[in-house]
């Protein structure tokens, strides 16, 4: 056989594998037996089939798939190995084997197909239960219970302040994404992502309460209603409070966002106060002792804003709380100031350790002119007679979609409800549903919030809401 450069290609058979090698034409003519018919030059044919090229291409792929044999052959060539002359029978055998894929070719194709599959990107927002199909979910942050004269350094303080600042600065691009967004859009984006990750299924899995997005002196319980055009601006301090649940098992967490670095000390004070409360919590620990430690840490901070220095004060009428199935605020409160509550934490309980700090007076109240956004069906509601058909229909919607979990007017709009305000007010007047107003400190003050959910296990406490970012 002759290639494009009129060089003969000689067939060799080594280790039961046939491949071709260029041979000098003169040497071949001298060694050629009389009964050997010269190989004619074949015309090149374009192969329509994918993966099949000209004879030269086939030679390259064949040599590549048998590189081990080729290296073995090169060793023999250096030792004076004399190649066998090409014969018709050998060439026929070569053509016959060319039609079949060798095992090495199959392995190469499998390897290529595997590499393509491995290069596939994982879809964003895939439900968490699909990522952990065997229900082997990662464990949250494990912390030891407090002991007498225990070293103050814990897992929470595993990084230095410089490292924390570096991590915060790395996330600045993510934060700037939200600048000048409508608050309503921020809440809707966060809620939509959470629904996808949880794989929302009515009362089986979903959001535990509306996303709180309280700004500046508003400390808690604000989420925008439809038509609210409030914008997240550069000098705002925004508290993001979000909760999820699976079969009523609630995880409650919160953090504070700001673009202006002048509020950093305020955020640090509240964050460290929350971490102190988590560190102090444990089986048989008195709630009043936790509140005392939280207050001590928070009041040790001062923040300078626009040339004026403020002491950070805990908002004393807000607190952490225990959590029960389908009941985000259960029977125990975790104070953030010193008080006389001798109630103790018990094994197996779930708590939201939550702290609020303010540059104002440290007390938050509802204003008279505001509209409600948060609602929740009373946990101990008994059957109440109702005459209004629309009120009954709205109550059925609440029972089917929220149960005793909190909800907001945006969520009713999302379910296709319209002209429901009179019916909702009727349910509130009858005590079936309770409205929760937004709570404000004094004007021109700023407040921050941090919160984590912990489980008091028999030998340790687990922070189930702890993440890499807060």
What is the helix (H) or strand (E) element at residue 240, kind and residue range?
A: strand 237-246
First-to-last alpha carbon distance for the chain, in angstroms, is: 72
Q: Is 144 annotated to bind ligand?
A: no
| Measured torsion, CA atoms of residues 283, 288, 291, 297, in degrees rounded to the nearest 10 | -90
Q: Which of 73, 272, 321, 441 is catalytic?
A: 321
What is the helix (H) or strand (E) element at residue 96, kind and residue range?
A: helix 88-99
Strands 308-311 and 302-305, sheet pairing: antiparallel
Task: Could you list the beta-strand ranges (E) of 97-153.
Answer: 141-143
Q: Which of 324, 329, 374, 452 is catalytic?
A: 329
Q: Which of 10, 236, 252, 426 is catalytic?
A: 252
252 as an active site residue: the answer is yes
451 as an active site residue: the answer is yes
Which one, of 437, 299, 440, lies nearest residue 363 by Cα? 440
Yes or no: say if 252 and 352 are a contact pair by the CB < 8 Å rule: yes
Q: Which of 241, 268, 272, 426 is catalytic?
A: 241
241 as an active site residue: the answer is yes
341 as an active site residue: the answer is no
Q: Which of 268, 354, 426, 441 is catalytic?
A: 354
What is the helix (H) or strand (E) element at residue 356, kind and residue range?
A: strand 350-358
Q: Which of 73, 191, 451, 452 is catalytic?
A: 451
Q: Is 119 annotated to bind ligand?
A: no
Distances from the Cα of 401 to the Cαs of 285, 328, 411, 419, 420, in angstroms?
37, 16, 10, 18, 16
Yes or no: say if 450 and 274 are a contact pair by the CB < 8 Å rule: yes
Q: Is 136 annotated to bind ligand?
A: no
Taking the CA atoms of 17, 23, 27 and 29 in sequence, report the sign of the dihedral they define: positive
Query: Which residues in 157-179 are b (16+ Cβ under 10 Å) and which e?
Result: eeeeeeeeeeeeeeeeeeeeebe
Structure tokens at 153: 């350094």
**Residue 436, strand partner residues:** 374
Q: Is 452 annotated to bind ligand?
A: no
Which one, of 318, 421, 311, lies nearest residue 358 by Cα? 311
Q: Is 252 annotated to bind ligand?
A: yes
Q: Is 192 annotated to bind ligand?
A: no
Yes or no: say if 446 and 237 are a contact pair by the CB < 8 Å rule: yes
CA 215 remoteness from chain centre: 25
Task: Report, as residue numbers or ranges, the catalytic residues.
Answer: 241, 252, 321, 329, 354, 451
Q: Where is the binding site, in residues? A: 221, 241, 252, 321, 329, 354, 451
Q: Where is the binding site for substrate, in residues? A: 221, 329
Q: Where is the binding site for a divalent metal cation, in residues? A: 241, 252, 321, 354, 451
């Amino acid at each position: 056989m002759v290639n494009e450069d009129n060089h003969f290609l000689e067939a060799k058979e080594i280790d039961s594998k046939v491949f071709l090698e260029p041979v000098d034409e003169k040497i071949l003519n001298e060694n050629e037996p009389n009964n050997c018919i010269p190989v004619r030059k074949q015309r090149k044919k374009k192969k329509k089939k994918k993966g099949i090229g000209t004879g030269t291409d086939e030679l390259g792929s064949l040599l590549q798939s048998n590189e081990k044999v080729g290296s073995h052959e090169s060793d023999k060539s250096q030792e004076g190995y004399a190649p066998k002359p090409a014969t018709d029978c050998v060439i026929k055998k070569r053509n016959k084997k060319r039609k079949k894929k060798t095992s090495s070719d199959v392995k190469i194709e499998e390897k290529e197909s595997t590499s393509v599959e491995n290069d596939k990107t994982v879809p964003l927002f895939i439900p968490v239960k699909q990522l952990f199909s065997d229900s082997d979910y990662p464990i949250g942050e494990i912390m030891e219970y407090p002991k007498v004269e225990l070293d103050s350094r814990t897992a929470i303080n595993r990084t230095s302040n410089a490292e924390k600042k570096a991590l915060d600065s790395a996330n600045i691009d993510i934060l700037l994404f939200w600048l000048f967004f409508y608050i309503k859009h921020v809440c809707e984006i966060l809620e939509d992502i959470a629904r996808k990750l949880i794989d929302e299924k009515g009362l089986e899995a979903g959001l535990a309460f509306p996303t709180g997005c309280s700004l500046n002196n508003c400390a808690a319980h604000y989420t925008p209603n439809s038509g609210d055009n409030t914008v997240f601006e550069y000098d705002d301090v925004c508290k993001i409070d979000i909760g999820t649940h699976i079969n009523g098992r609630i995880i409650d967490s919160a953090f504070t966002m700001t673009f202006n670095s002048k509020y950093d000390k305020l955020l640090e004070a509240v964050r460290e106060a929350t971490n102190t409360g988590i560190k102090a919590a444990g089986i048989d620990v008195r709630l009043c002792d936790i509140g005392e430690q939280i207050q001590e840490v928070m009041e040790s901070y001062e923040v300078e804003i626009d040339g004026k220095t403020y002491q950070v004060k805990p908002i004393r009428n807000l607190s952490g709380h225990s959590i029960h199935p389908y009941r985000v605020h259960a029977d125990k409160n975790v104070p953030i100031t010193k008080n006389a509550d001798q109630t103790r934490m018990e094994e197996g309980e779930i708590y939201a350790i939550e702290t609020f700090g303010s540059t104002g007076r440290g007390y938050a109240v509802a204003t008279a002119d505001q509209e409600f956004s948060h609602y929740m069906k009373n946990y101990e509601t008994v059957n109440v007679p109702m005459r209004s058909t629309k009120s009954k229909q709205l109550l059925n919607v609440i029972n089917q979609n929220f149960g005793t979990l909190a909800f907001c007017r945006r969520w009713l709009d999302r379910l296709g409800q319209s002209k429901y305000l009179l019916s909702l007010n009727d349910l509130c007047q009858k005590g079936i549903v309770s409205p929760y107003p937004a709570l404000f400190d004094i004007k021109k003050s700023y407040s921050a919030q941090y919160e984590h959910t912990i489980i008091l296990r028999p030998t340790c406490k687990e922070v189930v809401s702890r993440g890499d970012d807060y």
